[in-house]
Amino acid sequence: MPGSPTHPASGPRELPGTGRSAVVTGASSGIGAATATRLAAEGVVVGARRMDRLTELAASIGARALPLDVTDADSVAAFAGALDRVDVLVNNAGGAFDADPVAEADLDSWARTYEVNVLGTVRLTKALLPALIASGAGDVLFVGSTAGLVSYEGGASYTAAKHGVHTLAETLRLELFDQPVRVVEIAPGMVRTEEFTLNRVRDRDRAEAVYRGVRAPLVAEDVADCIAWALTRPHHVNIDLLVVRPRAQAAQHKVHRE
Ligand SMILES: NC(=O)c1ccc[n+]([C@@H]2O[C@H](COP(=O)([O-])OP(=O)(O)OC[C@H]3O[C@@H](n4cnc5c(N)ncnc54)[C@H](OP(=O)(O)O)[C@@H]3O)[C@@H](O)[C@H]2O)c1
């Protein structure tokens, strides 16, 4: 229609700037793998612990695979030391490891959840921040969760950790207000990935039950699409927080099942 605004192309777009290099953590499965694939037109470095899966992905998308355990200071130092430049950091590594009520809290599980989602994210972000600032147009993106905004029963180890990620993103944005680095948080609701729920409930039937009757939960590519969209805005546009859910999940507790 004459005079109507033009819509951005729906296909893959380049990140702003030339020769940008993106790091994606937790890229051996799920949202991280889909994000690395989506950003593959740029120089992508993928990190995770399972090198077999990572190497296979890197070979298929033309990325560089490096071992990374965000809970291990030596691993993070070696990972950071192997990078030439970093313009984009996608902090995606994370997970949930129980669905216990607080009355039955397993403190080891709480510690593990906090280690990977919060401390691991801080550790790597801290290590790469000088490079992200030096880039002149850096991006730190946190894959949070709606669990970082709303609590639910049986979710406290994870919701506490993801609330931590949310606060981390907000604080870093304030601290970097005079630096050329955007701080973005993407908070997905229900995403059906291969491993996330299985790691949490450790039983295939229980994992299946989480999605039972939900016609179309989000898939990893939907979240990767949101991440790519946020990263491809002009660099003066900071998407602070993007909440994305499947249509069937109107709110954390209100899921339409057929
Ligand atoms: N699925 C959902 O419903 C959902 C919703 C909202 C938010 N999220 C968040 O989205 C992110 C990705 O979730 P997903 O569904 O894609 O889960 P996933 O398939 O279980 O992927 C998690 C990734 O994190 C990596 N990882 C775990 N521990 C790590 C460590 N110590 N160091 C480095 N990498 C580590 C895993 O790789 P290795 O095991 O090879 O290290 C894996 O690649 C997580 O932060 C999750 O909390 C998920």
- What pLDDT is attached to residue 203? 93
Spatial CA neighbour of 183 closest among 238, 118, 244: 238
First to last CA, the chain: 39
To test the pocket of ligand 1, the residue of 68, 70, 92 to mutate (highest count of ligand atoms within 8 Å of its CB) is 92
Cα of 26 vs centre of ligand 1, distance in Å, is 5
Fold held by 22-247: Rossmann fold (3.40.50)
Nearest CA to ligand 1 atom 20: 196
Structure-derived torsion over alpha carbons of residues 234, 125, 219, 158, reported in degrees to the nearest 10: -130
Is 75's C-beta closer than 6 angstroms to any atom of ligand 1?
A: no
Where b means 16+ CB within 10 Å and e means fewer, 121-152 reads: bbbbbebbbebbeebebbbbbbbbbbbbbbee
Domain residue ranges of the chain, discontinuous segments joined by +: 22-247
Q: pLDDT per residue over 150-186, tens digit each? A: 999 999 999 999 999 999 999 999 999 999 999 999 9
Is 69's C-beta closer than 6 angstroms to any atom of ligand 1?
A: yes
Residue 148 near residue 165 (C-beta atoms within 8 A): yes
- What pLDDT is attached to residue 16? 52
> 36: burial class by Cβ within 10 Å (0-12, 13-18, 19+)?
buried
Using CA atoms, how far apart are residues 20 and 86, in angstroms rounded to an integer?
A: 7
Is 217's C-beta closer than 6 angstroms to any atom of ligand 1?
A: no
Cα of 9 vs centre of ligand 1, distance in Å, is 29
Spatial CA neighbour of 136 closest among 13, 12, 14, 19: 19
The whole-number average pLDDT for the span 131-137 is 97
Residue 37 near residue 29 (C-beta atoms within 8 A): no
- What pLDDT is attached to residue 240? 98
Q: pLDDT per residue over 111-132, tens digit each? A: 999 999 999 999 999 999 999 9
Percentage of the chain exceeding pLDDT 90: 91
- What pLDDT is attached to residue 15? 57
Structure-derived torsion over alpha carbons of residues 91, 156, 253, 249, reported in degrees to the nearest 10: 10
Average pLDDT of every residue of the chain: 93
Cα of 6 vs centre of ligand 1, distance in Å, is 36
Q: pLDDT per residue over 18-46, tens digit each? A: 568 999 999 999 999 999 999 998 799 99
Using CA atoms, how far apart are residues 181 and 139, in angstroms rounded to an integer?
A: 5
Cα of 196 vs centre of ligand 1, distance in Å, is 7
Distances (CA, A) of 73 to 10, 23, 116: 39, 17, 12
* Position 194 confidence tier, pLDDT thresholds 50, 70, 90: confident
To test the pocket of ligand 1, the residue of 89, 191, 242 to mutate (highest count of ligand atoms within 8 Å of its CB) is 191
Is 165's C-beta closer than 6 angstroms to any atom of ligand 1?
A: no
By annotation, the residues acting in catalysis are 158
φ, ψ at 217 (rounded to 5°):
-65, 160
Is 199's C-beta closer than 6 angstroms to any atom of ligand 1?
A: yes
Q: In terms of pLDDT, which residue wins out, 71 or 9?
A: 71
Q: Which atom of ligand 1 is nearest to the CA of 50?
A: 40
The two structure tokens encoding residue 76: 């993070």
What is the Cα 68 distance to its own chain's centre? Answer: 15
